[in-house]
């Protein structure tokens, strides 16, 4: 027997299930052969459970999440603020600010952005970590799919440095068996704040006020720190 489902009923089903997306950057979002985990992944799941919201939660690359937020295909995520998303999302609540660094191999210590000119940097595709670096055409940016690939290129001498928050760089380094002794001194190039953000085109009738209340309580109670300890 064939089951007929009208387009209206399909859209109603979709609207009832919140679409949560976490960035595919370890240790924030980790996909190990389909087994999903990570700091932001666990934090978001805890929030949605407390809110009693049915959801589908996937780990996607930066670029895809940003595209889907604009269309309302992704309802909720945790990531940095981006100028190109300003008209498409509501910022619900901030997480602690992260420092973005440029770091090279041992012996290559960088002290200014100008010192990076004519050098090549492994840069996560779809991400933006520093306006000074993004807007400097003399700095060569080699886009990579993840920090693991970027560090492999650094290890093999195909790039001079890598850019990003320290946590995912160190996480990828551990996977490759690279100790802190492999690296030079990091150059802090920006400080950015991740936010819980909701698409303005979301089809889900989620309460931004409820999310803010619950998430602020979770942060005040130290839930983020507790989750972070799992991934150290």
What would the mean pLDDT of 186-207 be, rounded to a whole number? 96
Give 13's pLDDT tier (boundaries 50, 70, 90): very low
Instruction: Please classify residue 41 by burial: count the beta carbons closer than 10 Å to its beta carbon, then call 0-12 exposed, 13-18 middle and 19+ buried.
Output: buried
Q: Which residues contact 204 (CB under 8 A, 6 or more apart)?
A: 15, 16, 17, 18, 19, 53, 75
Q: Where are the beta strands (DSSP E) in 81-219?
A: 89-94, 98-104, 120-124, 140-144, 161-165, 187-192, 194-199
Checking if the pLDDT of 12 tops 70, the result is no
What would the mean pLDDT of 145-157 be, rounded to a whole number? 95
pLDDT in tens, 37-52: 999 999 999 999 999 9
pLDDT in tens, 90-144: 999 999 999 999 999 999 999 999 999 999 999 999 888 999 999 999 999 999 9
Q: Could you say which DSSP state residue 135 is in?
A: T
Contact 40/156 with Cβ under 8 angstroms? Answer: no
Where do the domains of the chain lie, and which CATH numbers do they carry?
A: 7-96+193-230 (3.40.190.10), 98-192 (3.40.190.10)
**pTM metric for this prediction:** 0.84
Sheet containing 140-144: give its strands across. 140-144, 120-124, 161-165, 98-104, 187-192
- What is the chain's mean pLDDT, rounded? 92
Checking if the pLDDT of 191 tops 90, the result is yes
Tokens 């009738």 correspond to: 205
């Amino acid at each position: 027997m064939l089951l007929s489902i009208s387009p209206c009923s399909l859209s109603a089903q979709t609207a009832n299930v919140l679409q949560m997306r976490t960035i595919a950057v370890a240790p924030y979002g980790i996909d190990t052969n389909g087994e999903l985990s990570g700091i932001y992944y666990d934090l978001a799941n805890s929030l949605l459970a407390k809110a009693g919201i049915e959801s589908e939660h996937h780990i996607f690359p930066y670029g895809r999440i940003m595209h889907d937020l604009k269309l309302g295909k992704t309802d909720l995520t945790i990531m940095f603020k981006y100028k190109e998303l300003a008209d498409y999302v509501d910022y619900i609540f901030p997480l602690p600010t992260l420092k973005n660094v440029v770091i090279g191999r041992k012996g290559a210590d960088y002290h200014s952005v100008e010192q990076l000119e004519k050098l090549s940097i492994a840069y996560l595709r779809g991400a933006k970590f520093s306006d000074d670096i993004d807007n400097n055409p003399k700095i060569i940016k080699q886009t990579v799919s993840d920090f693991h690939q970027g560090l492999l290129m650094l290890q093999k001498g195909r790039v001079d440095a890598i850019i990003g928050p320290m946590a995912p760089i160190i996480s990828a380094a551990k996977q490759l068996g690279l100790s802190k002794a492999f690296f030079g001194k990091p150059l802090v190039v920006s400080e950015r704040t991740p936010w819980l953000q909701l698409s303005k085109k979301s089809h889900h009738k989620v309460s931004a006020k409820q999310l803010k209340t619950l998430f602020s309580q979770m942060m005040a109670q130290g839930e983020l720190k507790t989750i972070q300890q799992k991934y150290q």
